[in-house]
Chain A
Amino acid sequence: MTAMTDAVAAETVLDIQDLRVTFQTNDGPVAAVRGVDISVSKGETVAIVGESGSGKSQTMMAAMGLLSDNGRAEGRVLYRGEDILGLPLKRLNKVRGARITMIFQEPMTSLDPLYTIERQLCEPMIEHGGLGRKAAAARALDLLKLVGIPAPEDKIKAYPYELSGGQRQRVMIAMALANDPDVLIADEPTTALDVTTQAQILDLLADLQKRIGIAVVFITHDLGIVRRIADRVVVMKDGEVVETGQTAKIFDRPAHPYTRMLLDAEPEGEKPPVGEDKPIVIDGQKVGVSFAIPRGFMKPPALFHAVEDVSLVVREGQTLGIVGESGSGKSTLGRALLQLLPHSGRVHFDGKDISNAGKQVMRPLRRQMQLVFQDPFGSLSPRMTVGQVVTEGLLVHEPGLSAGERDRRACQVLEEVSLDPAMRNRYPHEFSGGQRQRIAIARTMVLKPRLVVLDEPTSALDRTVQKQIVELLRGLQAEHRLTYVFISHDLAVVRALADTVVVMKTGKVVEAGPTAAIFEAPRDPYTRDLIAAAALEPMHGRVVDA
């Protein structure tokens, strides 16, 4: 994006001064935003960057008067010189939705499920633009065309549930543009979307901004996006602005250590290769999984092929990356390999055919093949202490162990994942996301497995935490010669961890091969799209010491 000229920069449209947000909670008041100053000029794109809990979203919510009931905002929010903070609702509503509009992180739920797209698009136009129903409907159609929704004439009559996530986010953008606003606040608008959709939405926003020339405030945790679209960057941490400046300057010469840490957070390095002489740990031949979808009474269920004819081989100490967008069948494949789902084709583990083996056969093998989940909040039983969670596997596979011995093993494994063993009597909800993921990893490590299937283990975590988990996984693999099947949509992480990569789309493999080959010379157009959308930094060519 081009640098701003001084003449334009002079015209500030939105100026947030010393904004403070406090929430009244059961544990007393909590300061979420502590004195933030952000100004946005006409036609400028400002990115607010920070990890979860940095207060970046609450800053803008407070500015727009959208805090939840227990929140209170102080300070000044000037829109063209008028303080809109604490304005009576009637006056405030002249600004929001008309002059300043928003799009949100959750495209699936941000539209009212009970009304048609047309009705919802028209509402703000009728409210603020004084348009009649007919005129508004006509403009709504134009807007849908503008944001590139396929078959807009049909979609305008549709209900939100009939649209995909990307389409809904496009509708939200259309709604945001409807009244020709001065400022568009985009709160993580692409986070919930697949990478390819994400890229399309970003392109659309950038394109529209160039054409219409509105100011954009872009809230995100993703520095790749920032570099792509922002003129200026505001870095937030713990409710405060730690650094602000032109994008190029922030990326080239970050002043604050936190900014440097954020920039440094993209997983680095690559996997040292493993010799071809190592034994094969898991070998899947033409693995397929299909689900029956009931089609109503008396009709035979429809078959949905989630995974079709996937073949793969992983040797001891290797990491296989399975890459794909949501719905590509990558998680299903991982579970089928572990015999947690019935499948077609053959799966061999350590040379033994375990295809659709029964529970009795699998039980002794379970200790050697483990699974780590994406959601560190859902994968730990909320009513068990960390010690109980971690040692549950021992109850099954080493039933003779005394309670004291189990406790000792729990301490040991918690140390191994860099958690304080003194915390073993605490409950999962008392830990942060990153710590929980460490607990989940500890649960598998206590059994000293050979194969671990990692299902998006880093996707729910902030970048800096992600990096630590990647380092942990690397260390464990090197120490215990573990074999990983690493499922992820995050190409940066996969590139840093995997020996070989399988790219999946709608249940089929579109491309497979060594990591370097896939990333440097992708053959399939879909792989190319994925890589382009991920906007990876160039490889450093540095190999992590084994």
Chain B
Amino acid sequence: MLGYVLRRLFTAIPTLFFIVTGAFFLIRVAPGGPFNLERPLEAKVMENLNKIYHLDKPLWEQYLYYLGNLMRGDFGPSFVYRDFSVSELFASGLPVSVQIGASALVLALVFGTLLGVAAALRQNQPADYGVVGLATLGITIPTFVIAPLLSLVFGVWLGWLPAGGWGDGAFANKVLPVVTLALPQIAVVTRLTRGAMIEAMRSHHIRTARAYGLKPWTVVVVHALRSAILPVVSYSGPAAAALLTGSVVVETIFGIPGIGRYFVQAALNRDYTLVMGTVIVIAIFIIIFNLVVDLLYALIDPRVRLG
């Protein structure tokens, strides 16, 4: 088990290296630079800045320099938030994003599974159609529509919750962002669970369980849900990685100081180090959660062998 985890983490290194290299050169071949502002800087200032950030060196030298720093865990200074290093930005932003994302994930898994099971057990009945319709709607409405709408209804019209802002992590400020993030995920999990549950309830071993007069709870939860949860587990890996690394839309609309905002901003501003840092953080999350999914899978299904 531990050996497997270590092996998996070890094989992730080439993947990460590939990502770092790809992202580095992709950003650099792009036109523009971090100091090409609308009002051009004086040539002298520009030169100095380039010198400070090693932009005057040949590209491969910069690449090696960046890799070297990366090995020491140094993401470098941000080009745009000049008073901060990328690591500092993450140190303050990541906990916020993770907090919001994790809450949304838990909410999605709990409600999604419950709704999915409930719908599956009432297949082709009005309740089922209702849940399926809502779930389709949930998948359909983009976050960037839900977010302003929720903010408008609950923040502006009803005035129950703050329409935006972080408020130093006050509970009321977290409600709308978490709900916004969770809604589409609830929809996906519901649909996945429902489909898998319907299939599981038709399987032969469920027929056995029913024929042996086991309690409905045992039949549905112990036997059917355990196999029906497998596709949800597969899905929740990438979903977790995406949620925990912050959402551009939600963080922008609700004004939350997470790391989700950084990527697009940094890309637009050619904040090289911040873009790289974000790419790496996201990649690491994806790798870790893929591993977690495989471990969970093996835990749930004894037929799956790790290795």
Contact = CB atoms under 8 A, between A and B. Distances in A.
A94 B215 CA distance: 10
B202 A109 contact: no
A66 B207 contact: yes
A422 interface: no
B64 interface: no
Interface stretch (A120-128, A138-146, A271-279, A458-466): A120-128
B213 A127 contact: yes
B252 interface: no
A11 B157 CA distance: 75
A104 B213 contact: no
Contact of A114 (B213, B215, B302): B302
Contacts of A98: 213
B153 interface: no
B50 interface: no
A110 B207 contact: yes
B214 A68 contact: no
Contact of B204 (A96, A109, A123, A175): A109
Nearest to B224: A112
B208 interface: yes
B211 A96 contact: yes
Contacts of B214: 93, 97, 123-124, 127
Contacts of B203: 109
Given A113-B301, A114-B226, A66 B205 contact: no
Contacts of A114: 223, 226-227, 300-302
Contact of B307 (A95, A97, A124, A296): A296
Contacts of B227: 112-114
Contacts of A159: 302-303
A537 to B, nearest CB: 33
A64 interface: yes
B279 interface: no
Interface string B42-58: 00000000000000000
Interface in B168-216: 202-205, 207-216
Given A123-B214, A124-B212, A128-B213, A68 B226 contact: no
A100 B208 CA distance: 12
Nearest to B307: A296
A110 B223 CA distance: 12
A123 B307 contact: no
Given A93-B213, A127-B213, A111 B208 contact: yes
Q: Is the interface of A mostly helix, strand, loop or mixed?
A: loop
A64 B207 CA distance: 11
Contact of A96 (B205, B212, B215, B301): B212
A64 B211 contact: yes
A65 B307 CA distance: 43
Contacts of A68: 202
Nearest to B208: A110
The CB with the most chain A CB atoms within 10 A, among B203, B213, B218, is that of: B213
Contact of A104 (B124, B204, B300, B301): B204
B15 interface: no
B215 A127 contact: yes
Given A109-B205, A110-B205, A69 B123 contact: yes
Given A114-B301, A128-B213, A123 B207 contact: no
Given A123-B218, A159-B303, A112 B205 contact: yes
A127 B214 CA distance: 7
Nearest to A296: B307
Contacts of A161: 302-303
A101 B210 CA distance: 11
Contacts of B212: 96-97, 101-102, 123-124, 127, 175
A97 B302 CA distance: 26
Nearest to B209: A112
Contacts of A124: 212-214
Nearest to A116: B302
A281 B115 CA distance: 65
A418 B293 CA distance: 56
Interface string A84-108: 0000010011111110011010100
A94 B213 contact: yes
Contacts of A110: 204-205, 207-208
Contacts of A95: 213
Nearest to B211: A102
Given A123-B218, A159-B302, A66 B123 contact: no
Nearest to B226: A114
Contacts of B211: 64, 66, 96-97, 101-102
A68 B204 CA distance: 12
Interface in B74-127: 123-124
Nearest to B204: A109
A93 B202 contact: no
B220 to A, nearest CB: 12
A109 B206 CA distance: 10
B226 A104 contact: no
The CB with the most chain B CB atoms within 10 A, among A69, A111, A128, is that of: A69
B307 to A, nearest CB: 7
Contacts of B208: 102, 104, 110-112, 172, 175
Given A66-B210, A69-B123, A159-B303, A113 B205 contact: yes
A110 B208 CA distance: 6
B150 to A, nearest CB: 38
A66 B202 CA distance: 11
A222 B210 CA distance: 27
A106 B218 CA distance: 22
Nearest to A106: B204
Contacts of A94: 213
Given A106-B204, A159-B303, A112 B223 contact: yes
Contact of B213 (A97, A111, A113): A97
Nearest to A297: B307
Contacts of B205: 109-113
Nearest to B124: A69
B153 to A, nearest CB: 39
Contacts of B210: 65-66, 96
A89 B200 CA distance: 20
The CB with the most chain A CB atoms within 10 A, among B207, B218, B307, is that of: B207
Nearest to A89: B216
22 contacts: A93-B215, A97-B211, A97-B212, A97-B214, A101-B212, A102-B211, A104-B207, A104-B208, A109-B204, A110-B205, A110-B208, A112-B209, A112-B223, A114-B226, A114-B227, A114-B302, A115-B223, A123-B218, A124-B212, A124-B213, A161-B302, A175-B212
Interface of A: 64-66, 68-69, 89, 92-98, 101-102, 104, 106, 109-115, 123-124, 127-128, 159, 161, 172, 175, 296
Closest 3 CB pairs of A and B: A97-B213, A97-B212, A93-B213
Given A97-B211, A114-B226, A123-B209, 6 more contacts: A65-B210, A96-B212, A110-B207, A111-B208, A114-B300, A124-B212
Interface of B: 123-124, 202-205, 207-216, 218, 223, 226-227, 300-303, 307
